[in-house]
Amino acid sequence: MDEKANKGKEVKEEVAQETPKNPERRSLLKAGVVLGAAGIGGALGLKATDIEAAGKTGNLSAHVGPGDLDDYYGFWSGGHSGEIRIMGIPSGRELKRIPVFNYDAAYGWGTTNFSKSLLGDKRSGDTHHVHLSYNDGIYDGKYAFVNDKAQARLARIRLDTFVTDTITEIPNAQGTHGIFPSRNKLDAVYCNSEFRIPLPNDGKDMLDPKKYGALHTCIDAKSMKPRWQVLVDGNMDLCATDYHGKYSMAISYNSEGGVTLNEMIASDRDWLIVFNLAKIEADIKRGKGTTYGSSKVKVLDGRKGSPYTIYIPVPKSPHGVNVDPTGRYAVCAGKLSPTVSVVDLEKVDQAFAGKIKPRDCVVAEPEVGIGPLHTAFDNRGNAYTSIFIDSVITKWNIAKAIKGENPIVHKIDIHYQVGHINASMSETKEADGKWVISLNKFSKDRFLPVGPFRNENEQLIDISGEEMRVVHDVATHPEPHDAVIARRDLFRPEKVWNNNDSRFDLERNLAKKYGVKDLMTAAKVVRDGKHVYVFMTGIAPNFSLNEFTVKKGDTVTLVVTNGDKVEDLSHGICVSHHDVNFGVSPQETASATFKVPNKGVFWFYCPWFCHALHLEMRGRMIVT
């Protein structure tokens, strides 16, 4: 490996020198990103284009006819939009955008008092990883979780109503990136902080990166409160859990602890860190651990040599870690090494007990292509690894890799530069081997050009046969980071809100305080000093109030309930010139609070086309 690594360095320099002055996009990308990867291990000698059609391809169709429903829900990370998106698979139809860390006028996310209570004054996020809650290795249909890398937060989305219900700030963390929930039951969500920072980050030790640290955080999946944190070496990237609640795992690069690019990629090997959850929980229960700054969350020291962790060496600046549907193997993608490392989780206990070396848990390390990032699985013992630099997906057989045979089954070109990949039900024990989605970072020539900021491309791949087959290009908004494809029968979304839902507690309390008996029929204006509370109901095509009067300089809280019980009949309210606009779906209540700085007449209106007389569904706010 040493020799290869040195060779890698030479090639890196060569590549840098060879970068042309006006490089074509693809070559620029290769030169810029390949860095240490190009030379290590050399070329595989097997190009996608060289592969002869050796077997049968599947014959699944992405066509979902008018009126027909998709077989799967897709849960898509919205990347730097800060939202998540719900897709129909295999059609690729975008069904819904769920605002999470972002502002969204359609739903009034960032406007309503409920959403503001979660967001504070932040309006942006960077979502990377969406995962669903599990019971016994299968999605339980209750929640989705998503990280915000930008501001170190974790959000929970309810899947009865497909709305964000909690956002948790992770203490002592920056760049919260990989997350993964427990797979045995609804228990915890493990979150990796990628960036090493001074602990506490209060102005001390800023120029001494050796003292920086990164924490692996356990968030309770029910309360969404942090339970504990563990300090580690390196920068954590992707996260995974086993199927039994014994381990969480973190890929860790920059074992060097460097702060510049060259420092960060100096070592041949970094790690898969495995956390011994029982040991950690037991010591936390005993009151062990320290705290940093104002956070009360206990932190255990899990750096190398601690009883809480083992550090399994894997090459090189690794990126993804994915556990196969049998639960036995964790596959670590090499990124700057053309290999994937197969870790046998059944050996991990022996490594914790000191009976074998951590590296002995690695049972195979096949070469799969230049720049491997993430791996998905079918139900026939095959793995599918996304290869960023080669722009291919490599299908390889896990058992063959372990036996030391050539494991490569097929490679397929994708367009272009795939990041994440996932397969239908891949992260459950019911992986079904039907579809792979390739989430590509570049679309280049695949769609009509739309200016310098292009859409990106996702390709749906039929994996039901021996060979893969691209069946569909789906243009997507930047940036598709990760996605989960889950069978539709696992979800039972509500059609109408339950008007007793705890989500409306704030509005219900206001109603109680100001003598409004029933929000479903409310029509009341109450003044409390300089604050005016306006309660109204929308039932198509009317608001229960045609007008209300306030005074210049007042603060207004507008509580609006959709009194209709008819499925699909949304209303909303938009107050002209006051930056207030939010929707309410059937039996939902929401509120917004705003200032009225100027005298005048301001029409409020329903912005959702709810009725033939929708345009007439409006009234006046009179400011005297």
Binding site for ligand CUK (CB under 6 A): 128-129, 177, 238, 319-320, 373-374, 419-420, 481-482
Contacts of 349 (CB under 8 A, 6+ apart): none
Using CB distances below 5 to 8 A depending on partner kind, what does residue 177 bind out of ligand CUA, ligand CUK, none?
ligand CUK
Least distance between ligand CUK and beta carbon 319 (Å): 6
Least distance between ligand CUA and beta carbon 580 (Å): 16
Least distance between ligand CUA and beta carbon 608 (Å): 5
Q: Which is nearer to ligand CUA, 15 or 540 (CB)?
A: 540
Distance of CA 51 to the CA centre of its chain: 34
Stretch that binds ligand CUA, among 172-180, 229-237, 376-384, 608-616 (CB under 6 A): 608-616
Q: Do 514 and 161 touch, CB atoms closer than 8 A? A: no
Using CB distances below 5 to 8 A depending on partner kind, what does residue 610 bind out of ligand CUK, ligand CUA, none?
ligand CUA
Q: Judged by CB under 6 A, does residue 540 bind ligand CUA? A: yes
Q: Contact with ligand CUA (CB under 6 A): which of 331, 606, 621, 623?
A: 606
The two tokens of residue 252 are 């860790």
- The C-alpha atoms of residue 106 and residue 497 are separated, in whole angstroms, by 18
Q: Judged by CB under 6 A, does residue 590 bind ligand CUA? A: no
Which of helix, strand or coil describes residue 25?
A: helix
Q: How many alpha carbons lie under 13 Å from residue 98 in its C-beta half-sphere? A: 25
Least distance between ligand CUK and beta carbon 236 (Å): 12
Using CB distances below 5 to 8 A depending on partner kind, what does residue 129 bind out of ligand CUA, ligand CUK, none?
ligand CUK
Q: Which is nearer to ligand CUA, 447 or 609 (CB)?
A: 609
Least distance between ligand CUK and beta carbon 420 (Å): 5
The two tokens of residue 110 are 């960032």
Q: Judged by CB under 6 A, does residue 608 bind ligand CUA? A: yes
Residue nearest to ligand CUK (CB): 419
Using CB distances below 5 to 8 A depending on partner kind, what does residue 617 bind out of ligand CUK, ligand CUA, none?
ligand CUA
Give the ranges where 267-361 is alpha helix by DSSP (H). 277-285, 348-352
- Which helix (H) or strand (E) segment is 142 a member of? strand 138-148
Contacts of 131 (CB under 8 A, 6+ apart): 144, 145, 146, 179, 180, 181, 189, 427, 484
Which of helix, strand or coil describes residue 431?
A: coil
Q: Judged by CB under 6 A, does residue 538 bind ligand CUA? A: yes
Q: Which is nearer to ligand CUK, 274 or 373 (CB)?
A: 373
Q: Do 447 and 459 touch, CB atoms closer than 8 A? A: no
CA-based nearest residue to 578, from 554, 595, 557? 595
Using CB distances below 5 to 8 A depending on partner kind, what does residue 420 bind out of ligand CUK, ligand CUA, none?
ligand CUK
Q: Judged by CB under 6 A, does residue 617 bind ligand CUA? A: yes
Q: Do 347 and 310 touch, CB atoms closer than 8 A? A: no
Least distance between ligand CUA and beta carbon 545 (Å): 14
Count of CB atoms situated within 10 Å of the CB of 97: 19
Using CB distances below 5 to 8 A depending on partner kind, what does residue 34 bind out of ligand CUA, ligand CUK, none?
none
- The C-alpha atoms of residue 619 and residue 558 are separated, in whole angstroms, by 13
Long-range contacts of range 441-447, CB-CB < 8 Å, 24 or more positions apart? 441/388, 441/416, 441/417, 441/479, 442/25, 442/29, 442/415, 442/416, 442/417, 443/415, 443/416, 443/475, 444/25, 444/26, 444/415, 444/416, 446/415, 446/473, 446/475, 447/473, 447/475
Q: How many residues of this chain interact with ligand CUA, rule: CB under 6 A?
A: 9
Sheet of strand 269-276, all strands in order from the earlier edge strand to the far edge = 235-241, 247-253, 269-276, 309-315
Least distance between ligand CUA and beta carbon 621 (Å): 17
Using CB distances below 5 to 8 A depending on partner kind, what does residue 153 bind out of ligand CUK, ligand CUA, none?
none
Query: What is the number of residues in the chain?
Result: 624
Cis peptide before 200 (omega within 30 of 0): yes
Q: Judged by CB under 6 A, does residue 35 bind ligand CUA? A: no
Least distance between ligand CUA and beta carbon 575 (Å): 14
Q: Which is nearer to ligand CUA, 556 or 617 (CB)?
A: 617
Stretch that binds ligand CUA, among 269-277, 453-461, 596-604, 605-613 (CB under 6 A): 605-613
Q: Contact with ligand CUA (CB under 6 A): which of 149, 216, 298, 571?
A: 571
**Site residues, ligand CUA (CB under 6 A):** 538, 540, 571, 606, 608-610, 614, 617
